[in-house]
Amino acid sequence: MTIKLIPNYTFRTMLLWVCLYTLTLWLNHVSLAVEDTNKEEGYNVINELVVNNKNQYKTVIYENEEEGILEMRKLIETSQIEESWAYLPRQEKWIEIGYNEEPEKKIDENYITKAKLDIQFLDGLMNDNDNMILFHFHTSYCLSLEDKIKKREKDGSPMNDSEIEKERIRLLIKSAYPSRSDLMNMIGNSTEFFERNSEGNITFKVCSHYGITEYRLTDEGMEYLYADDSLKQILRITGISSSANIDANVKGEILEMNPRETRDPLKRIKMSPKRKRSSFSRYKIIDPLSRIERALETMNDEHIKVTFTPY
């Protein structure tokens, strides 16, 4: 066999092209976080969780669950776009699984948040991993509040600071609940996961302003899903979410200030007996965390388990 050697000038030319190609990739590389230069399997390995609504690449972060949650809390307060990750506890690895993420929109009088999951990509992760947590977050930003403020101004009855704060907290409480689509995704992805990993473990967590809500099917829930009418079970579970959201809207649940209660309590002792006495407190306090915990507790039964952990 005759082996032909590559001429020296040709080898140098090839090396130059490789260098130029590598440099071009580096110059064109854009990310929302400071990135390491190394890549793996087409992912961009970065230093912290980011919201990436570019579908050209997926981000990977190596850090533990607590560190990731701390970074997610910053995104909750600053981002108008939701993001999703699969967290692999054994590897302490976060892999982005969201795509086509967009800010909240108003469509046909409904406020829609677009945050899809890359299902085919997620199926591949399930094939290779029998232990995972699917995370996403609900932002503190709310288009409906902005629209309500503008509408009240346009109608000549602008909201005061107290009314705005009350509505803001009500919406933050509501963001702690998994939505109907969250529960639908949980049911569908649980089914797919256990078909691949019968002895594995998967759970789902949504991070919001007040804390982390974990939701999953129980063993009985999985058995019921397979044994009975799947559609019936899905509708029952997603219906529970609506009940919890309605419970969050109970009037009077928010911290409410009563400016009239500014008198010195000692002077009130001298009031005429005919005058109506009122509370010493300037505030009516109802703890948002207690409201969330009570509402989420109503979602629990033998088929679904929901827990809330405040920050």
**Going by C-beta distance under 8 Å and a sequence separation of 6 or more, which residues neighbour residue 212?**
69, 205, 206, 308, 309, 311
* Segments forming the whole domain that contains residue 251: 28-263+278-310
As given in the structure block, the two tokens for residue 266 are 């000692």
Higher-confidence residue: 209 or 224?
A: 209
Residues linked to residue 26 through DSSP beta bridges, in sequence order: none
pTM: 0.74
Q: Count how many domains the chain has.
A: 1
pLDDT in tens, 50-93: 999 888 889 999 999 999 999 999 999 999 999 999 999 999 99
pLDDT at 221 over 80: yes
Domain presence at residue 273 = no
Domain presence at residue 256 = yes
Domain presence at residue 216 = yes
Domain presence at residue 217 = yes
Yes or no: say if 180 and 168 are a contact pair by the CB < 8 Å rule. no
Rounded to whole angstroms, the Cα distance separating 65 from 89 reads 7
Higher-confidence residue: 131 or 3?
A: 131
What phi and psi values does residue 60 have, to the nearest 5 degrees?
-130, 135
Domain presence at residue 20 = no
Give me the pLDDT at residue 203, please: 97
> What is the layout of strands, in order, in the sheet containing 35-40?
35-40, 43-46, 59-62, 93-96, 84-88, 131-137, 201-207, 211-217, 304-310
Domain presence at residue 2 = no
- Distance, CA of 273 to chain centre: 54
Yes or no: say if 82 and 101 are a contact pair by the CB < 8 Å rule. yes
pLDDT at 240 over 90: no
Residues linked to residue 256 through DSSP beta bridges, in sequence order: 284
Domain presence at residue 208 = yes
pLDDT at 40 over 70: no
Mean pLDDT rounded to a whole number for the chain: 76
Give me the pLDDT at residue 93, please: 98
Interval 21-25 mean pLDDT: 36
Domain presence at residue 38 = yes
